[in-house]
Amino acid sequence: MADAKVIPFDDDRSRGGAGQRPVRRRSTGSRRPGGGEPAMVGEVQPLPGRAATHEDGPAPAGEAAAGPSARPPRSPDGSGGVDAARGGLERRVASGLSFLRRRLTGEYEVDDFGYDAELTDQVLMSLLRPVYEKYFRVDVKGIENIPKEGGALIVANHSGTLPLDGLMMQVAVHDHHPAGRHLRLLAADLVFVLPVVNELARKLGHTLACAEDAERLLGQGELVGVMPEGFKGIGKPFGDRYKLQRFGRGGFVSTALRQGAPIVPCSIVGAEEIYPMIGNAKTLARLLGFPYFPLTPTFPWLGPLGAIPLPTKWTIQFGEPIPTDGYPPEAAEDPMLMFNLTDQVREQIQHTLYKLLVQRRSVFF
């Protein structure tokens, strides 16, 4: 990666490499198993043609005290609902043990970029989903604008001090796209030098924001996500919220043109307010090697509690795709065309942001 050309999504980002990637085969992963059939509990009636007995009629006082759980419920077809539930539980336990065995013995696969489909589907997405559904309560619009197959480049605004918006966008595509597609995010160099974060990012399918990796993923028919504002967007002050920063020199457009992949603009509302950045400790940021060190109303004043994001209400809207397959191969080297397409994507995202903000009732509801 030392010779990789970095897409100028963010001019302030360092150009250092991210280390050697493991080269293995890609795994398709398995889906989550379903549960058992629910049981129905009804009133027991005497059988026709004979007198009611203890088996059919009311239970004695001792059994009545035991409550409804004294008898197993019956499903509509007469089979035992308890047996069905037990069977579902056994399948889930067997699946979990099988998953653990594969992880411990190394019998799992990752692709050339380190993406672990099985771990992402069964573990990482399960951890992110409660934050997506319960905490930020994300509404998704325009998911049908993402192609069902083939390579495509999703371009989104970036904000929030910490890059939670990219993760929420991944969950939105993974859980709501009818074809069950997975979004492969292009990330800054800093992501791949941080301990633990580096490994998790690779497992989730993230890769370095360089032209070679992006073109290779698009050529393989993958869905690639990029946030061209980079650190300028995620680290901007609260007073500049929802004002898009510069999109670099249009490197993402050049990548899409070379592969003939459509560009899907994406607008995210709600992330700007999770960490209202009211200051930037630049000296401390330089000492730590960070692009910025945020000061918010709660951080660092409240210690670890100040790192908890505010529970804002999010909306993610995917716009109509902009086709690029109609341009000749040399179009990727035309600076005027790249400038015009970059500006078109940026204006579409900005216009959608303003429209969503007008429709929003409250930051938190």
Q: What is the CATH number of the domain that holds 199?
A: 3.40.1130.10
Instruction: Specify the pTM.
Output: 0.75
Kindly state whether residue 227 falls inside one of the protein's structural domains. yes
Contact in structure between 306 and 300 (CB atoms under 8 Å)? yes
Listed residue (284, 286, 314, 289) closest to 299, CA to CA: 284
pLDDT surpasses 60 at 182:
yes
Name residues whose C-beta falls within 8 Å of residue 51's C-beta, 6 or more positions apart in sequence. Answer: none
Kindly compute the dihedral angle of the four CA atoms of residues 257, 259, 260, 266, in this order, to the nearest 10 degrees.
-70
- Give the β-pairing of 223-226 and 152-156: parallel
Kindly state whether residue 67 falls inside one of the protein's structural domains. no
Gyration radius of the chain over CA positions: 26
Kindly state whether residue 176 falls inside one of the protein's structural domains. yes
* CB neighbourhood size of 328 (10 A): 8
Q: How confident is the model at residue 102 (pLDDT cuts 50, 70, 90)?
A: confident
Kindly state whether residue 82 falls inside one of the protein's structural domains. no
- Give the β-pairing of 139-141 and 183-187: unpaired
Predicted pLDDT of residue 80: 56
C-alpha to C-alpha distance for 280 and 300, rounded to whole angstroms: 12
Kindly state whether residue 6 falls inside one of the protein's structural domains. no
Residue 318 structural domain: 117-274+309-359
Kindly state whether residue 214 falls inside one of the protein's structural domains. yes
- What is the total count of domains within the chain? 1
Q: How confident is the model at residue 95 (pLDDT cuts 50, 70, 90)?
A: confident
255-264 per-position pLDDT tens digit? 999 999 999 9
Kindly state whether residue 52 falls inside one of the protein's structural domains. no
Kindly state the greatest CA–CA separation across the chain. 92
Kindly state whether residue 15 falls inside one of the protein's structural domains. no
Beta-strand (E) ranges in the chain?
139-141, 152-156, 183-187, 207-208, 223-226, 263-269, 279-280, 294-295, 315-318
